[in-house]
Structure 1
Amino acid sequence: MATAVETLGKLERRLTISFPLTDVRTEVEKRLKQQAKTAKAPGFRPGKVPLKMVAAQYGYQIESDVLNDKVGRAFNDAANAAQLRVAGFPKIEPKQESPEGTLSFDATFEVYPEVVVPDLSAVEIETVQAEVSDAEIEKTIDILRKQRVHYHPKGVAGEHGDGGEPVAANGDRVTVDFVGVIDGVEFPGGKADDYTFVLGEGRMLPEFEAATVGLKVGESKTFPLAFPEDYHGKDVAGKTAEFTITLKQLEWAHLPEVDAEFAKSLGMEDGDLVKMRSDIKLNLEREVAGRVKARNKEAVMDALVKVVEMDVPQSMVAQDCERLAEMTRQDMTQRGMDVKNMQFPTELFATKAERRVRLGLILSQLVGDNKLQATPEQVKAQIEDFAQSYEDPREVLKYYYSDRRRLSEVEALVLEENVVNYVLGKAKTTTKAVAFDELMGSNAQA
């Protein structure tokens, strides 16, 4: 049986559930007898262990399981009878005072809020668009060339030339020996032999690179270097060292020509440069479309969060905080960090978790009210779109359709896209053109 539901706050409720103690004892005894059929103990054949010994070994756990089952069932029955939509998990506490022969518990919980989506025709949303021009294609080709750079001794004649005067300059790869001292004393990390880096990439401090520029092989230079106050090496941060550097090897960068061989290195078997540029454009357009979609989705989600007012169940926020913490722990572990015993403060994830829960409730309401569920055809089309960038599209389809969890992730993406398209179809939208570089430099995530 259950008492009437008490309202403790906007979403918080409480009810008392109770049931006869004899029901618990009867069920415990039934489960103990069932356990006894397979119980093992030294000196007894399986299934012949005395019930008292079975009770001593398994009684506490069985009684705990029975209570959890009884309380859970009683709570669900009471919530259903009261037509309550329970959010999260209830907090169950035994009552201090119960009628004789009765077990009573207080269940404190939250209910789902009422989600009212206002007239979307009054909502203003700015969307973005971007184009892929020839300049972006050429820039991408330059990046691909740099990824395939190879080096030759500078000043030595070869198949591709000599690279010019054998003096270190930006873009050259240099191999050096160096040693640094502070107040005449070498310091840890201040010395290296055969250290290689490319001038102009910013791997070394500016003073170090500036001292290297202009050197010839075999030449040395001594120079002061002031470490920044925020330098990662705390022992030298904010101090000035004196370095001596010796150039041992100097190589110039040769970028491959944009020719048939270059096209072949990108997968064009026939070395067709026109097809190469066409494929690069297609890939860029696919990437741009994805980023535009992400930016516009974020704009829609921001608008929904702004116009739909509601109280968010904190129990659901707490659960999502735990999920985000676990996702962070897994991500850090995959990066090789030992975070097994690290505790993540809840406040680190509270803002993001509340937004996720709020959006989940809004999207659920919109989907239910407007029949925006993902159809099998939409899911298949989305997977086929994923598959376009893979060598064997059939394997991609098999990958998703062989795992219900993966398929659910695609369904969720399609559902969100349905909501975005629905909202954009109702709202007042304006479109802003964004530069390619600005778009590709953004990491929009809804």
Structure 2
Amino acid sequence: MQVSVESTSALERRLTIGVPAERIESEVNKRLEQTARRAKIPGFRPGKVPMSVIRQRYEDAARQEALGDVIQATFYEAVVEQKLKPAGAPSVEPKVFEKGKDLEYIATFEIYPEFEVTGLESIAVERLQAEVIDADVDNMLEILRKQNTRYEQVERKARNDDQLNIDFVGKIDGEAFAGGSAKGTLLVLGSGRMIPGFEEGLVGAKAGDERVLSLVFPEDYQNLDLAGKAAEFAVTVNSVAEAKLPELNAEFFALFGINESTLEAFRAEVRKNMERELRQAIKAKIKNQVMDGLLAANPVEVPKALVESEVNRLRVQAVQQFGGNIKPEQLPAELFEEQAKRRVVLGLIIAEMVKQFEIKPDEQRVRGLIEEMAAAYQEPEQVISWYYKNEQQLNEVRSVVLEEQVVDTVLQKANVTDKAVSYEEAVKPAEAKQAA
């Protein structure tokens, strides 16, 4: 087998591979012999069909199959011989593909980039320091109560935080418009759900009242056909209901799957969950800063094949998440290209760091992470057992731990400063760029 390599770009390689005709014919004959043993042809006993008949009937198919297998095998042999790491399937172009002649073809493909991870000392990381205090737990209890608010009808004028049941008809220039009317809509005054002036115009209304609200849609309204236009809404108030927060009792605690009868025990459980959320939020923000730093310090050219593959994965995830009657390939690739490229580059950098620093997953940390995830379930031991019986899921956890160990390796060399913040600031979502 003869092989020559040409570099057509930083990552693209062009292999010209020559295979002796004898190897092709050997593979063709091997397949014809296998066919002869099982072929059923009228007038001949099984296994006794003359090879000339077998060749006449099956040689073309056998040759095509042999060529495909030989190309696949010789391409693999060639990249191993040349110490190349293909990042995707090759594009194969035949040069000589004739019976009785040496096979010659060109395989064009991209390779993985070769680089070393550098610049760890230049990465700046702000490590947040926070703890859950009693006031944070008090605030969380109020949030949980508000999430489970009940509403009771009252015979008085509506005020902010009341829930109204309303019918309304919206008109522009005297004509009703699409999406501008509804019946039996529940609206909490002060929620900001409606356009400016709508909710304010219903403060002071009672059940049975009818009001006409003259409003203007915001210039940046999501429906461009309505943006900036004046409209009138005829609103009928069907009922007014007052918010009633639930009591902090055993019945309320049970809503969260916590079988505790005392407020102290419930607070302790809430605090434990908040502390877990705090640890995860701080860890995620540190990781985001480390990953941003690695990207900035290590510009890596990535194979288009890897980005395209990641784009397709993100398309599938988007369809699974948002549903709808749409196929993944119908989503424009450009929607996902930036995120896909970021993920591919980070994957390459992390893989190189694992190799460069000889990092192996710490099995104690793997166990600890599984136990932490299992703690959120009623039967944690069953969850732990499930992970250790499912190799694929266990390997996913190992990958997460491996990333954490990569982050730890960076933090040992990076410029890290600590910053004391409140619980709320620590758990506040990261910026959109980081979250991506």
Equivalence map 1:212-231=2 (5 Å): 212-231=202-221
The residue number in structure 1 matching 2:134 is 134
Equivalence map 1:57-76=2 (5 Å): 62-76=62-76
Q: Distance in 2 between matches of 1:268 and 1:10?
A: 59
1:77 partner letter:
E
How far does residue 145 in structure 1 lie from its aligned partner after superposition? 0.4
Q: Distance in 2 between matches of 1:61 and 1:345?
A: 39
Is 1:322 the counterpart of 2:312? The answer is: no
Q: Deviations over 1:399-418 (max 9, x none)?
A: 32333322221111011111
2:345 partner letter:
R
1:401 partner letter:
Y
The residue number in structure 1 matching 2:339 is 352
Identity of aligned residues (%): 40
The residue number in structure 2 matching 1:409 is 396
Q: Distance in 2 between matches of 1:213 and 1:41?
A: 90
Structure 1 residues 41 and 414 mapped into 2: Cα distance closer, same or farther (>3 Å)? Answer: farther
Q: Name which of structure 1's ranges 244-253 and 363-372 shifts more when overlaid on structure 2.
A: 363-372
Structure 1 residues 57 and 201 mapped into 2: Cα distance closer, same or farther (>3 Å)? Answer: farther
1:208 aligned counterpart, secondary structure = coil
Q: Name which of structure 1's ranges 122-131 and 190-199 shifts more when overlaid on structure 2.
A: 122-131
Q: Distance in 1 between matches of 2:6 and 2:50?
A: 47
Q: Name which of structure 1's ranges 407-416 and 379-388 shifts more when overlaid on structure 2.
A: 379-388
The residue number in structure 2 matching 1:287 is 277
Q: Could you tell me whether the CA contact under 8 Å between 2:6 and 2:14 is conserved in 1?
A: yes
1:408 partner letter:
N
2:89 aligned counterpart, secondary structure = strand
Q: Distance in 1 between matches of 2:108 and 2:311?
A: 25
Q: Could you tell me whether the CA contact under 8 Å between 1:110 and 1:313 is conserved in 2?
A: no
The residue number in structure 2 matching 1:163 is none
Structure 2 residue runs of 5 or longer lacking an equivalent are none
The residue number in structure 2 matching 1:203 is 193
Structure 1 residues 242 and 318 mapped into 2: Cα distance closer, same or farther (>3 Å)? Answer: same
Q: Distance in 2 between matches of 1:439 and 1:40?
A: 75
Give the TM-score normalised by the residue count of structure 2: 0.86
1:203 aligned counterpart, secondary structure = coil
Equivalence map 1:329-344=2 (5 Å): 329-340=316-327, 342-344=329-331
Structure 1 residue runs of 5 or longer lacking an equivalent are 156-165
Q: Distance in 2 between matches of 1:55 and 1:344?
A: 48
The residue number in structure 2 matching 1:161 is none
The residue number in structure 1 matching 2:414 is 427
2:95 partner letter:
K
Q: Distance in 1 between matches of 2:99 and 2:284?
A: 59
Is 1:6 the counterpart of 2:6? The answer is: yes
2:391 partner letter:
R
Equivalence map 1:175-194=2 (5 Å): 175-194=165-184
Q: Could you tell me whether the CA contact under 8 Å between 2:315 and 2:331 is conserved in 1?
A: no
How far does residue 445 in structure 1 lie from its aligned partner after superposition? 4.1
2:378 partner letter:
E
From 421, 426, 432, give the equivalent of 1:439.
426
2:284 partner letter:
A
How far does residue 22 in structure 1 lie from its aligned partner after superposition? 4.3
Is 1:303 the counterpart of 2:293? The answer is: yes
Structure 1 residues 398 and 185 mapped into 2: Cα distance closer, same or farther (>3 Å)? Answer: same
Output the aligned Cα RMSD: 3.4
Aligned residues between the structures = 433
1:252 partner letter:
E
Structure 1 residues 321 and 26 mapped into 2: Cα distance closer, same or farther (>3 Å)? Answer: same
Q: Could you tell me whether the CA contact under 8 Å between 1:264 and 1:271 is conserved in 2?
A: no
Equivalence map 1:83-122=2 (5 Å): 83-95=83-95, 101-118=101-118, 120-121=120-121
Q: Distance in 2 between matches of 1:94 and 1:419?
A: 44
Q: Name which of structure 1's ranges 323-332 and 42-51 shifts more when overlaid on structure 2.
A: 42-51
Q: Could you tell me whether the CA contact under 8 Å between 1:387 and 1:396 is conserved in 2?
A: yes
1:17 aligned counterpart, secondary structure = strand
Q: Deviations over 1:367-386 (max 9, x none)?
A: 22322111433322221121
2:266 partner letter:
M
Q: Deviations over 1:255-293 (max 9, x none)?
A: 013345434444443421111111111111111111111
Structure 1 residues 65 and 417 mapped into 2: Cα distance closer, same or farther (>3 Å)? Answer: farther
Structure 1 residues 392 and 99 mapped into 2: Cα distance closer, same or farther (>3 Å)? Answer: same
1:353 partner letter:
A
2:115 partner letter:
V
1:14 partner letter:
R
Q: Distance in 1 between matches of 2:358 and 2:370?
A: 22
Q: Distance in 2 between matches of 1:272 and 1:53?
A: 89
Q: Distance in 2 between matches of 1:41 and 1:250?
A: 87
Q: Name which of structure 1's ranges 190-199 and 341-350 shifts more when overlaid on structure 2.
A: 341-350
Q: Distance in 2 between matches of 1:71 and 1:107?
A: 9
Q: Name which of structure 1's ranges 146-155 and 289-298 shifts more when overlaid on structure 2.
A: 146-155
Structure 1 residues 149 and 37 mapped into 2: Cα distance closer, same or farther (>3 Å)? Answer: farther
1:126 partner letter:
E
Is 1:245 the counterpart of 2:232? The answer is: no
Q: Name which of structure 1's ranges 46-55 and 430-439 shifts more when overlaid on structure 2.
A: 46-55
2:108 partner letter:
T
Q: Could you tell me whether the CA contact under 8 Å between 1:111 and 1:313 is conserved in 2?
A: no
The residue number in structure 1 matching 2:380 is 393
